[in-house]
Amino acid sequence: MTMSHADRLRNLIPVNSLAEDNFNELAASALVQGVPAGTVLFKEGDTDHQSVYLLEGEVRLASTHTEIVRTLQGDSDDARYALAQLKPRQVTGTATKDSVVARVDSDLLDRLLTWDQVSGIEVVEMDGDEDTDWMLTVLRSPTFEKLPAVNANEMFSRMETVSVKAHDVVVRQGDTGDYYYLIREGKCAVSQKDAAGKVGIVNQLGPGDQFGEEALLSDAPRNATIMMTTDGVLMRLAKKDFLQLLKVPLIDWIEQKQAEAMLARGAGLLDVRTSEEFARGAIRSARNVPLYQIRKVVPELEPDKKYVVYCQTGSRSAIATFMLNQRGFDTYALKGGLSGLQTASEVGGNS
């Protein structure tokens, strides 16, 4: 009997360990293609983000720097594993017969495996609660796509469960930041008091949403009041745990030369200082988006474009980067900000 593409994918390692829903998501994005003899599947030194599997045919793996030469058959047990998975690739893979291969996004596969692993965690610190559906909802959000599995596991184990009632005030504008919150159940309203003392509702939050990170990242007072509009359940993480487990892996810091290279390849550049600071001098081609306006400009940004974010020292750009990554953008913070530049002209010059 001829196996379907899905059946063949299901036989691969570690794809075979995925739960049904996650396997279906991976299979929908996988590229299964026939390749003629002589096709180069990947080259030695490649740093791509693909896992390439041989489903049918034959592939020769060879290196120009060593005497490594190996031929792999599509029906062998070894073909259940991705070819030359170590990056940069140590060998060149060439089809020596007409073959069928599957290309899988390595990052997606790793995220799906992480979600499966987290769903099986028994977190005794959470009052013996074994309902992990909310964990999967959290991990599927853009915020946590870059979070290593070990950090995710540790985050959930350190979180406290807090039951709240309608009209409870969880955080108050002006208070010192102490916790990062995830909404497990219920809804809440976000309100702010302006300079004239007028209070207005600026947002509504529900299950899966998070709040409280800005005060923890900046050491500034809470910039809004969060009040429950229904009964609910919150998960909270202490500031020291948030900074250790989330801030470091979810903010990608880059040096000046890395920023230069990204900008040369078409990355966007965002200056999150105030408009007055920007007017006094900025990096050429930068767009001024003061930190407090980050949420407003999200619809104007290109989702498939990389962005470099900077401020004067790196403090504000860390918050902006975290917030944009929360919303699914591929964002990087310039280490040291403008104060850390060797010469502004190397990145683009002053405006």
Kindly give, in sequence order, each residue whose CB lies less than 8 Å from that of residue 207, ignoring residues fewer than 6 positions away.
134, 137, 183, 184, 185, 186, 187
Same domain, 127 and 241: yes
| pLDDT exceeds cutoff 90 at 100 | yes
Same domain, 133 and 90: no
What's the CATH code of the domain at 303?
Answer: 3.40.250.10
What per-residue confidence (pLDDT) applies to 313? 78
**pLDDT > 70: what percent of the chain?**
87
In the block, residue with structure tokens 């917030």: 323
Would residue 159 be called left, alpha or beta, if left means φ above 0 and alpha means ψ between -120 and 50 degrees? beta
Q: Distance between alpha carbon 107 and the CA centroid of its chain, in Å?
A: 10
pLDDT of residue 115: 60
Check whether residue 165 and residue 235 sit in a common domain.
yes
Residue 202 lies in a domain: yes
| 43 part of a folded domain | yes
Claim to verify: residue 258 and residue 308 sit in the same structural domain: yes
More confident residue, 61 or 197: 61
* Residue 310 CB neighbour total at 10 angstroms: 32
| Whether 239 and 124 share a structural domain | yes
What pLDDT score was predicted for residue 124? Answer: 33
Residue 169 lies in a domain: yes
Does residue 268 form part of some domain?
yes
Give the model's confidence band at 4: pLDDT under 50 very low, under 70 low, under 90 confident, else very high: confident
Q: Which helix (H) or strand (E) holds 225?
A: strand 225-228
pLDDT of 102 > 90? The answer is: yes
How confident is residue 345, by pLDDT bands cut at 50, 70 and 90? very low
Give the C-alpha separation, 182 to 211, whole Å. 7
Is the domain of 200 the same as that of 256? no
Nearest to 333 by CA among 305, 314, 313: 314
Has residue 347 got a pLDDT over 60? no
pLDDT (average), residues 139-165: 80
The closest of 215, 234, 214, 241 to 169, measured between CA atoms, is: 234
Statement to judge: residues 22 and 137 lie in one domain: no
pLDDT at 338: 85
Task: Work out how many domains the chain is built from and give that number.
Answer: 3
Query: Please, which pLDDT band fits residue 119 given cuts at 50, 70 and 90?
Result: very low
Give the helix/strand (H/E) hosting 23: helix 20-29
pLDDT, position 351: 37
Q: Which of 52, 83, 108 is the last residue of a domain?
A: 108
Q: What is the mean pLDDT of residues 44-54?
A: 89
Long-range pairs for 47-50 at CB < 8 Å and ≥24 separation? 47/87, 47/88, 47/89, 48/87, 48/89, 49/105, 49/106, 49/107, 50/103, 50/104, 50/105, 50/106
Final residue before a domain boundary, out of 222, 247, 272: 247
Supply the pLDDT for residue 350.
39
Confidence at residue 288, expressed as pLDDT on a 0 to 100 scale: 94
Report pLDDT digits (tens) over 245-277: 887 777 888 999 999 999 999 999 999 988 888
Q: Report the residue count for the chain.
A: 351
pLDDT at 245: 84
Residues 203 and 258 in one domain: no
Query: Is residue 113 one of the residues assigned to a domain?
Result: no
pLDDT at 157: 85
State whether 18 and 68 are in the same domain. yes
Instruction: Check which CATH number belongs to the domain holding 145 and give it.
Output: 2.60.120.10
Q: Which residue type is seen at 284?
A: R
Average per-residue pLDDT for the chain: 83
Query: How far apart are alpha carbons 287 and 305 in whole angstroms?
Result: 14
pLDDT in tens, 206-238: 988 889 888 887 777 888 899 999 999 999 999
Up-side HSE of residue 168: CA atoms within 13 Å toward CB?
A: 13
Can you name the residues that pair with 287 across neighbouring β-strands? 270
Residue 3, pLDDT score: 61
**CA separation for the pair 85, 5 (Å, rounded):** 21
List pLDDT tens digits, range 294-309: 888 989 999 899 999 9
Residues 110-118 have a mean pLDDT of: 62
Q: Do 233 and 317 fall into the same domain?
A: no
- Of 108, 134, 166, which residue constitutes the final position of a domain? 108
On whether residue 115 sits in a domain, the answer given is: no
> Averaged over 81-104, what is the pLDDT?
90
CA distance 269 to 60: 43
Q: Are residues 53 and 89 in the same domain?
A: yes
The distance from CA 106 to its chain's CA centroid, rounded to whole angstroms, is 14
- Please count the CA atoms within 13 angstroms of the CA of 159 that sit on its side-chain side: 24
Does 351 fall in a domain?
no
* pLDDT over threshold 50, residue 344: no
Whether pLDDT at 348 is above 50: no
The answer, yes or no, to whether residue 1 has pLDDT greater than 80, is no
Residue ranges making up the domain that contains 329:
251-346
- Looking at the domain assignment, is residue 152 inside a domain? yes
> Does 40 score more than 70 pLDDT?
yes
Is 73 in the same domain as 18? yes
